[in-house]
Amino acid sequence: QTDWGVHWIDSAFDGLEALGLSKRVFPKAVYSTAYKNPLSFNETPSCQTTIFSYDHFHIEWAQQVANLYNRNQGVAWIGSKATLVCNREGYELIPYVGRNSETSVEPVKLTGPFEEGGIEAHTANWCAAIRDNSRMTNSPVEKGVFATILAHMANISYRTGSKVVYDPEKRSFIGNDAANQYLTPAYRSPWKLPGV
């Protein structure tokens, strides 16, 4: 979940912030389960589902072989009248059909590309910020840190087989020694984590 998961978790919070529903705060709890093909030597599971639990909503991240909404990746905001599905190729508003085949919103679909050379522009901006010792990135580093921590929480929950609750002040999991073991990797000698 630390590859595409970081990007789409970040996008999910962009949408929630735009609606005024949530700022980037850590969830009350995270639970993740997964399936790993027993014939594969990879550590990464083939399919993984994670629930990030909040007071008034939850975020579900699903990484799977069969794609939802006929897209190879993206984010969906599921509301009471429709679902809004977005990815880098466009967006679609899919209304719910009521009992009398009525919908309360009209379907909308828009496809891109929205920006030529998107990944190249993203990379150039990042490299320029490093070169110029500038914090002027197209996306603030703090957003990336937040989304990365959530993605790691999902993977740690999967690896420990337990619900995890994170304390951002202490930068550790509450009452879960097994999860806390994943916070700092064991380095091979002579390598070690530098102090900051």
In angstroms, the CA 13 to CA 22 distance is 7
Residue 128 to residues 22, 64, 118, 134, 180: CA-CA distances in angstroms? 31, 35, 15, 8, 35
Q: What is the pLDDT along the chain (196 residues), one digit of tens a residue?
A: 677 788 888 888 888 888 787 788 999 999 999 998 888 778 888 889 999 999 888 899 888 877 778 888 888 988 888 999 988 788 899 999 887 788 888 888 877 665 666 778 888 998 999 999 998 888 888 888 999 999 999 999 999 999 999 999 999 999 999 999 999 888 889 988 787 6
> What is residue 113's predicted lDDT score, i.e. its pLDDT?
60
> What is residue 49's predicted lDDT score, i.e. its pLDDT?
93
Domain positions in the chain are: 4-79+114-174
Alpha helices by DSSP H, listed for the chain, are 4-18, 118-131, 141-160, 177-180
End-to-end CA, the chain = 27
> What is residue 162's predicted lDDT score, i.e. its pLDDT?
98
> What is residue 114's predicted lDDT score, i.e. its pLDDT?
59
Alpha helices by DSSP H, listed for 59-191, are 118-131, 141-160, 177-180
Q: Which of 80, 61, 74 is nearest to 21 (CA)?
A: 80
> What is residue 169's predicted lDDT score, i.e. its pLDDT?
93
> What is residue 70's predicted lDDT score, i.e. its pLDDT?
82
